[in-house]
Chain A
Amino acid sequence: MTLVSALLAPIGHSTLSMLAAVGRIAIFMARTLSHMLRPPFYGRELLRQLLYIGYFSLPVVGLTAVFTGAALALQIFEGGSRFNAESVVPSIVAIGMVRELGPVLGGLMVAGRVASSIAAELGTMKVTEQIDALVTLSTNPMKYLAVPRVLAATLAMPVLVAVGDAIGIMGGWLVGITKLGLNSAAYMQNTVDFLVSWDVTSGLIKAAVFGFLLALMGCYHGINSGRGAQGVGKATTNAVVSASVLILTANYILTTLFFST
């Protein structure tokens, strides 16, 4: 009996800890959403975060998209040539980018860049008592710190992914006409013909959800950071890991909802 307890106890302990963490994150999310709807609103902070999270993430998302689109074209051409279906390259590159790779890879790259920096910034603010200072200055840290970041990421991600989709398709087109001998006009026509608006819209909805999740994880781990440099470091790592896992999980759930018949 003692041996069984000793074996089961750590599993039970980890399960309880995980459930408690899920509960805390759910409460944090509910508080963030409720503060989004109630004044005061910090418009200047929102604009600052839109610039930082949106505009300054463009190079990361653009580079990721162009190389992904290019590699995708090469792979599909090679695979398609096995049964004389090289002509599907443009349509599969486009569908693959806008439905799946654009939002997921964009989300993961922005999670690496933004969730980590949010967690490090808010964690440092907590350690240096800046969050306490906000409270004493009659400012709610959830409203002033979490809401603008989460809202900015939710609004900026669809735009980033839309730009990333276009750049990714362009990457495929570039490889198609320079290395694979495809016709430029036919490639573009094929892309436009086979893509339907729901392909693009579903990817942008995914992007908004991923933006929400990655900023939420950055804020949650930053505001609940432990003490000292180690605490902030751990918060940063946890933010990126949890944001990435949540993005991949949410992607599966959304794909099932959108496309399973």
Chain B
Amino acid sequence: MTQPRIEFRNVSKSFGRNHVLRGIDLSINKGESMVIIGGSGTGKSVLLKCALGLLNPDEGQILIDGRPGSEGSRDAFFARFGMLFQGGALFDSMTVWQNVAFRLLRGKLKRPRDEARAIAIEKLRRVGLKEWVADLYPAELSGGMQKRVGLARAIAAEPEIIFFDEPTTGLDPIMSGVINQLIRDIVTEMGATAMTITHDMSSVRAIADYVAMIHDGKVRWSGPVENMDESGDPYLDQFINARAEGPIEAVR
């Protein structure tokens, strides 16, 4: 049996009396693209932040290549990750290219400024943005362009594991399709392991190899994306078919 690249073992997390995660068990193998779905407030983002070490789980373990993420140097840990945040999380005070090349301008991966800029422009091209965008500030970009810049920043240091948090939220259907296609292509090209959280079903079908649905703080269903429509699980059926009636209460 192969060692999973990311493994969640009985992960629980509460905020006061709000028990967001109640024992998540999930494995993602190397090179796989796992999409986590679930309604708003079901703890998808919390799970992702726990995996990144931005939040500490109350119970359970998160293993990266069989070892707890908290072991060893934080820099070495984060050097393996790329992350696309929901709102882009671009640094307002920096130009687009400085955002993309952030890791390459400081720390252990530091390179000469010209070289870092050239790499940033190449990554921007990879996500469909032209060179003139490089010297703009994030506030001068549209929402779709900001997502692309965020994507370019996530892949700039060629990470082994990439997390995508709601990559298509707030975008029109065409731009959503473009971003989904870019994510799929980049993950395949780089051979990276990807974990995406979303409630956009078009993203799920475009990006996922495997799908896991979180409900009530636990993994309700998981399996290959092609089995999703015939799962027979009433919760998953209600969610993927966007039905108001079903076991998931509309008002939570």
Contacts and interface: CB of A to CB of B under 8 A. Distances in A.
Contacts of B92: 124, 130
Contact of B103 (A125, A128, A135, A138): A138
A133 B91 contact: yes
B54 interface: yes
A135 B85 CA distance: 12
Given A40-B107, A137-B103, A139-B106, A128 B75 contact: no
Contacts, number: 49
Contact of A136 (B52, B87, B90, B107): B52
Given A129-B85, A129-B86, A133-B91, A138 B52 contact: no
Contacts of A40: 106-107
B106 A42 contact: yes
Given A40-B106, A42-B106, A133 B74 contact: no
B89 A139 contact: no
A135 B54 contact: yes
A137 B85 contact: no
B85 A132 contact: yes
A130 B79 CA distance: 17
A133 B106 CA distance: 15
Interface in B118-170: 153
B91 A130 contact: yes
A133 B54 contact: no
B87 A137 contact: no
B81 interface: yes
B210 interface: no
Contact of B78 (A124, A129, A137): A137
Contacts of B103: 137-138
Given A135-B54, A138-B75, A138-B78, A129 B89 contact: yes
Interface string A113-133: 000000000001100111011
Contacts of B52: 132, 135-136
A137 B89 CA distance: 12
A40 B107 CA distance: 7
B87 A138 contact: no
Interface residues of B, number: 24
Contacts of A133: 83, 85, 89-91
B102 interface: yes
B150 to A, nearest CB: 9
* Interface-central residue, A125, A130, A133, by most chain B CB under 10 Å: A133
B107 A132 contact: no
Given A138-B74, A138-B78, A139-B107, A132 B54 contact: yes
Interface residues of A, number: 14
B79 A132 contact: no
Nearest to B163: A136
A3 B18 CA distance: 33
Contacts of A136: 52, 54, 78, 81-83
B79 A138 contact: yes
Contacts of A42: 106
Contacts of B89: 128-130, 132-133
Nearest to A124: B92
B12 to A, nearest CB: 21
A39 to B, nearest CB: 10
B106 A128 contact: no
Nearest to B85: A129
A68 B230 CA distance: 79
A132 B106 contact: no
A129 B87 contact: yes
B209 to A, nearest CB: 23
Given A133-B90, A137-B102, A139-B106, 16 more contacts: A40-B107, A42-B106, A124-B92, A128-B89, A129-B85, A129-B87, A130-B90, A130-B92, A132-B52, A136-B78, A137-B103, A138-B74, A138-B75, A138-B79, A138-B103, A138-B107
Interface of A: 40, 42, 124-125, 128-130, 132-133, 135-139
23 contacts: A40-B106, A42-B106, A124-B92, A128-B89, A129-B86, A129-B87, A129-B89, A130-B91, A130-B92, A132-B49, A132-B89, A133-B89, A133-B90, A133-B91, A135-B52, A135-B53, A136-B52, A136-B83, A138-B74, A138-B79, A138-B107, A138-B108, A139-B106
